[in-house]
Amino acid sequence: MSKVVRVNPIACEAHGLCAELLPERITLDEWGHPIVDPTPVTGQVEKHARRAAAACPTLALLLAEAGRRSPVMD
Amino acid sequence: MSATRLRPEPALVVAPQSLPRLLAGLPPGDRPVTLDEHLARYGSVREGGRSRSLIDLVEASGLRGRGGAAFPTATKLRAVASRRGRPVVVVNGTEGEPASGKDKVLLRYVPNLVLDGAVAAAEAVGAREAFVAVAHGATAESAAVAEAIDSRRRRKLDGRVALRLVEVPDRFVAGEETALVQFLNGGPAKPTFTPPRPFERGVGGAPTLVQNAETLAHVAQIARFGPDWFRRVGTAAEPGSILVTLSGAIARPGVYEVALGSPLRDLLAQAGGVREEVQAYLVGGYFGTWVRADRAAGLRLSEAEVSLGARAIVALPARTCGLAETARIARYLSDEGAGQCGPCVHGLGAIAGALELLASGDRTDRRDRIERWVAAVRGRGACHHPDGASGFAASALEVFADEVELHLRQGRCSGSRR
């Protein structure tokens, strides 16, 4: 089951650690909020992603299952 | 040899043969259709011995949500019905979209049609509770709904389904479905991070069906008259009628019921035409797209041609500045965000600020920046607020491109005589 990185934008406070720890998938916008590349993470990159998720001060960075889209939208 | 099967005698109900359907038979005077009048016209939505389940009927009808996202209603009903636990229904009558008044018209004048749909949907998914969410300050609508709920309770019309009126803060994002759920759970009326979506875990943790008020009014009619009747109006791909709110430079602004796929021209004629020369129409409300008047002349009200969003259409007079109106709406949308997600807070604020400068005659070319911000906020909120607001801004730059040039070159616009 491949994983992708997601940000909970409500919890995120733009500390920016994720971009330091996971440059493979995360860049920051001009206000310091993460822009996430939705390419699945594997191997070494997945390791970096887990480390970044654990380091996020507001626990806003998540590893989610790839392809899980809600069948129901508002 | 089989005996002739006795089918329950249908109520002496005549399906509306033409438009309007939802707004058929409104009484003279400014008052709601009473429950007695409603039942005399339509009978009870629970009688009549439907041969197929309501969800199947709705699926066959092709009904899509009338709140703005146009999601297939049957899919949503099925998703909620298939979850474990007793579901809850929420009627979304908040209508935070400033250019839209259609749900308010339904709640105010035919509340029982909406409540019929809520009860039918509740029974279809196995819910025993349906909350009717109305914006705080919509006093006539709240009063009509409260009176309708009371009358139905006295008659024990709705079996095991209990209807409850809830007043929700009158904010733009309060009607977003996760915001509604969070509010009903005692929190602020602001969107939440998903998953879980309401159909998975909503009010009180139960699977929750959030449906727009107009959608449920259609459900009530499909339950009575069936999918074939429903499809007699509209197109094969987009069946049924819609309520459209017309405002701006219109002779008789208001809420009109038209067939999906019908020409905008016909709707305008129904409303007495335009009051003065129009340069563009905002189609779909504040999350919508600007359509130039020349293109609007041949436009059909179909999702295939233009996103209809909340089905609100605003006619912008030729003498007003499209950029000024765009800046006003962009600022409104920025202010009306939940203030929760960084990209939305910063991005919509930046877009609104740049549009205001452009509209006011500042000659610094900020088009590239606006386009960058539009791209930067898309898909980066917990809800679709930044997507809707940025899409609106992008369409303004495209449709009012000449106006932008004029502002940048001369520091003034065609709308002013300065």
Which CATH number fits the domain that encloses residue A46?
Answer: 3.30.70.20
Side by side, the strands of the sheet bearing B208-212 are B162-168, B129-135, B88-93, B208-212
Q: For the segment B239-298, what is each residue's pLDDT rounded down to a tens digit?
A: 999 999 999 999 999 999 999 999 999 999 999 999 999 999 999 999 999 999 999 999
Q: What is the structure's pLDDT at B48?
A: 53
Q: Identify which has the larger pLDDT, A23 or A72.
A: A23
Of B193, B210, B347, the CB nearest to A74: B210
pLDDT at B13: 67
Do B329 and B309 reside in the same domain of the chain? no
Select from B125, B341, B378 the residue whose CB has the most chain A CBs within 10 Å, as the one to mutate to test that interface.
Answer: B341
Per the domain annotation, does A71 fall within a domain? Answer: no
> Does A26 fall in a domain?
yes
Which of B71, B347, B380 lies closest to A72 in CB terms? B71
For residue B79, give the chain A residue with the closest CA: A72
For the segment B316-325, what is each residue's pLDDT rounded down to a tens digit? 999 999 999 9
Shared domain for B87 and B207, answered yes or no, is: yes
What confidence category does residue B10 fall into, taking pLDDT thresholds of 50, 70 and 90?
very low
The Cα–Cα gap between A21 and A39 comes to: 16
B195 & B227 share domain: yes
pLDDT value of residue B5:
42
Contact B76 A70 (CB under 8 A): no
Partners of residue B132 on adjacent β-strands: B91, B165
Task: Compute how many other C-beta atoms are within 10 angstroms of the C-beta atom of residue B178.
Answer: 22
pLDDT band at B12 (very low <50, low <70, confident <90, very high): low
Q: Which residue in chain A is spatially nearest to B212 when comparing CA positions?
A: A74
Whether pTM > 0.95 for this model: the answer is no
Question: DSSP code of A40?
Answer: P
CA atoms within 13 A on the CB side of B163: 30
Tell me the pLDDT tens digit for each residue of B79-129.
Answer: 999 999 999 999 999 999 999 999 999 999 999 999 999 999 999 999 999
Q: What is the CATH number of the domain that holds B305?
A: 3.10.20.600
Q: How high is the pLDDT of residue B415?
A: 61
CATH number at residue B357: 1.20.1440.230
Q: How far is B366 from chain A (nearest CA, A)?
A: 16
Residue B257 backbone phi and psi in degrees, to 5 = -105, 120
Q: What is the domain count for chain B?
A: 3
Coil vs helix vs strand at B355: helix
pLDDT given at position B1 = 39
Which residue range is the domain that position B387 belongs to? 322-410
A10 contacts in B (CB within 8 Å)?
Answer: 191-193, 340-341, 382
Residue at token pair 């208001």:
B254
Confirm whether A59 is domain-assigned. Answer: yes
A58, part of any domain: yes
In this structure, are strands B278-283 and B312-317 parallel, antiparallel, or unpaired? antiparallel
Residue A62, chain B, CB below 8 Å: the answer is no
The residue from B231, B266, B301 where one domain ends is B231
Instruction: Count the domains in chain A.
Output: 1
What is the domain range of residue A13?
3-65
Q: Tell whether A67 is within 8 A of chain B (Cβ).
A: no
**Has residue A70 been placed in a domain?**
no
- In a domain, residue B175? The reply is yes
B340 touches chain A (CB under 8 A): yes
Separation between Cα atoms, residue A19 and residue A32, nearest integer Å: 9
H or E element that contains B279: strand B278-283
ipTM of the complex: 0.90
